Structure 1
Amino acid sequence: ERPLWSVMVPTYNCANYLRFTLESILAQDPGPEVMQIEVVDDCSTKDDPEAVVQEIGRGRVQFFRKSNNEGAIANFNTCVQRSRGHLIHILHGDDLVKPGFYHRLGQPLLADEAIGAAFCRQEYINEQGDRQLITRCHQEQSGVMPDALSVLAVTNRIQPPAIVVRRHVYETLGGYNARLFHSADWEMWVRIAARYPIWFEADPLAAYRVHAQSDTSKLFRTGANIQERRLCIDICRHYFPSASAGRLYRKALGYSALYAAKTASRFLTAGHWQIALIQLREAALCLLKLYQPTRSPLS
């Protein structure tokens, strides 16, 4: 029989944080019959995650090392493929869960089989584990979001450590889109929201770690951060109901233009005018796309 939970921990060169991740899971461990815990390493080159698993996991945590590095999104899909549980949680090897995460997010999924996923507010923490901010509260009370698609279609509101997805949802919708290197999670949340009810937990029960030198920094220098947002929006447009597709599409593009403009202002204030100009260019391209005449089927 399948366990209730699969907690899959993708890693790549983050072993110095992995011990804290595993400790946060094991503090809530209901036992191996109920929860699969497995670290899936994307062929790390700078550290030894297996040693951390052996030290902290003490035989409770499984370890799988891929034969070659395939990237974060491919590793997400490997995590889904290797999972055995009915409820799947992908927890980055440098992120954390807070006490009560599995109980609080598991309850609604067990109570209502129609719910496809459940997510909570999340903290953003720095490299030292200090809280930087807490994400917004989408509704005052925990419960099914009546407007999940409208909320999630505009921008990515959920980091992976904060969401649990039902197994049959992945089996029905497929894996993460390999075309999107940094927005595949957002595209997945929109895909889910278009087909299933989503539960929102109002308390912050997960922590997402932000690194000073992350792989996103190069995206700002090239404008790829906004370019990929536009690609993701184009993909997600096909999931929107016909009655609201145009509105959601325009809203998402408008938000991306505003986000790019704010990013430009931030870099300009910091003295990085070249990056600011690139971000302003991408904002303009979002607006251009936003106000392009819609082609008719015959054009």
Structure 2
Amino acid sequence: MQNNNHAPSVTVLLPVYNGEQFIEEAVTSILAQSFTNFEVLVMDDGSTDGTGKILRRLAANDARIRIHQRENRGLIATLNEGLALCSSELVARMDADDYALPHRLAVQYDYMTEHPETAVCSAGMEEYETGRILAWEGYGEAVRARLLFGCCLHHPTIMARRSVLLDAGGYDAAMPSAEDYDLWVRLTAAGYSLAVLPQVLLRYRVHPHVSRTAYKWQMGETTSRIQRRQLALLGISPTPRQLDRHQFCISHCPELPGKLQEAEAWLQKIVAANEQKVMYDQDVFLRTVNEIKKDFVRSSWQRDPGQYVRRILRTIVKDGIYRLRLGEDFEKRIVGAARRFGFFSQSRKQ
């Protein structure tokens, strides 16, 4: 049940930079929520287009909109500053080009109210352009185990307890393009419980025709650092090739049979390591690994010849780099160059 006191129960934190094309639709989708006791804190990160004018017009018609405008500092600084300015304990993230479904805040507010042990809850989302559904369900230890393999919380869908995020130090500027993934891992390591709700609560723009090569490369580098840090706690120091197999595990991309066999062998290595270290609840961890293996998709020449050939070429290039064995620093430089040309794609988005 929502609280109808004067003070907002939820602050929707919405950073924007030059978002005039979609900002009105994004804000309007929040204003149309069935849950009404909220404020929208729009952090205008130095926009130079018509974003500010649109926001001022919207704010003039709805007192729940609060605009904070200053020079451009980037997403991480904007998020951390926004957290400090929020008026409520519960904070919901929203991107400037997405669309919140009408019941989004109601569903998440009810869940967070009924589960005070939960620090952050995420939800499913639908790709705006394709209609593809991105959804998974998990709670507590299942989320912590899943985070070993990748970010299972969709950042634009989260609702979180502001005090917990601030106590954790907020988003780390040293983790660009995967600052949310890093934060969730740090929270679970500190003993906080996270939840991923199965409901689809957001329509998310992918922008398939916009080049994001530099962003994906940076995200891949940061993601690798986060995963190496977690694997080290299990006593595992992966080679670049092993880390590639690790990151493939929850990519849901069709892959060659031989590569799938390597990924399965890698999963068994991790299971054995956890049996020794007991970093994760063993039953939950084994279920997580079995779920991951169940989702493996084999690439097929008959079903999609073009994709099959691309996977062969991609594997030849990547594994050829790994076989050079010219030192980790050299490999990092080569792998970084390969990412820039799209050989090392990352499907997770901010």
TM bin, normalised by shorter chain, reads 0.7 to 0.9
CA gap 1:25/1:227 in 2 versus in 1, 3 angstroms:
same
Report the secondary structure of 1:15's partner residue: coil
Residue 187 of structure 1 pairs with residue 167 of structure 2: no
Report the secondary structure of 1:14's partner residue: coil
Distance 1:282 1:132 in 2: 37
CA contact (8 A) 2:178 2:219 kept: no
Residue 117 of structure 1 pairs with residue 120 of structure 2: yes
The corresponding residue for 2:73 is 70
Give the one of 94, 106, 119 matched to 1:103.
106
The corresponding residue for 1:204 is 200
CA gap 1:50/1:137 in 2 versus in 1, 3 angstroms:
same
The corresponding residue for 1:50 is 52
CA contact (8 A) 2:153 2:196 kept: no
Normalising by structure 2, we get a TM-score of 0.65
CA gap 1:214/1:191 in 2 versus in 1, 3 angstroms:
farther
CA gap 1:29/1:39 in 2 versus in 1, 3 angstroms:
farther
CA contact (8 A) 2:35 2:105 kept: no
Report the secondary structure of 2:173's partner residue: coil
CA gap 1:276/1:48 in 2 versus in 1, 3 angstroms:
farther
What one-letter code is carried by the residue in structure 2 that aligns with 1:189? W
Following superposition, the deviation at residue 254 of structure 1 comes to 3.2
Following superposition, the deviation at residue 138 of structure 1 comes to 2.8
CA gap 1:156/1:96 in 2 versus in 1, 3 angstroms:
same
CA gap 1:123/1:255 in 2 versus in 1, 3 angstroms:
farther
Normalising by structure 1, we get a TM-score of 0.75
CA gap 1:197/1:248 in 2 versus in 1, 3 angstroms:
farther
Q: Deviation string for 1:37-60 (max 9, x for gaps)?
A: 111011112x22222123333242
Structure 2 unpaired stretches of 5+: 1-5, 256-298, 329-350
Q: Which runs of 4+ in 1 moved over 6 A?
A: 247-252, 270-273
CA gap 1:168/1:225 in 2 versus in 1, 3 angstroms:
closer
Give the one of 187, 212, 218 matched to 2:214.
218
CA contact (8 A) 1:162 1:207 kept: no
CA contact (8 A) 1:11 1:42 kept: yes
Following superposition, the deviation at residue 253 of structure 1 comes to 5.7
Root-mean-square deviation (Å): 3.8
CA contact (8 A) 1:154 1:248 kept: no
5 Å-filtered alignment, 1:188-267, equals 188-194=183-189, 195-214=191-210, 216-219=212-215, 223-236=217-230, 245-246=234-235, 254-256=245-247
CA contact (8 A) 1:10 1:41 kept: yes
Following superposition, the deviation at residue 200 of structure 1 comes to 2.6
The corresponding residue for 2:39 is 36
Report the secondary structure of 1:189's partner residue: helix
Residue 9 of structure 1 pairs with residue 47 of structure 2: no
What one-letter code is carried by the residue in structure 2 that aligns with 1:255? H
Following superposition, the deviation at residue 284 of structure 1 comes to 3.8
CA contact (8 A) 2:135 2:200 kept: no
Size of the aligned set, in residue pairs, is 267
Distance 1:40 1:178 in 2: 17
CA gap 1:103/1:44 in 2 versus in 1, 3 angstroms:
same
Residue 280 of structure 1 pairs with residue 318 of structure 2: yes
Report the secondary structure of 1:154's partner residue: coil
Following superposition, the deviation at residue 18 of structure 1 comes to 0.6
Structure 1 unpaired stretches of 5+: 290-299
Q: Deviation string for 1:271-292 (max 9, x for gaps)?
A: 999x95898279849x998xxx
Q: Deviation string for 1:164-197 (max 9, x for gaps)?
A: 1111211221111111221111111222233212
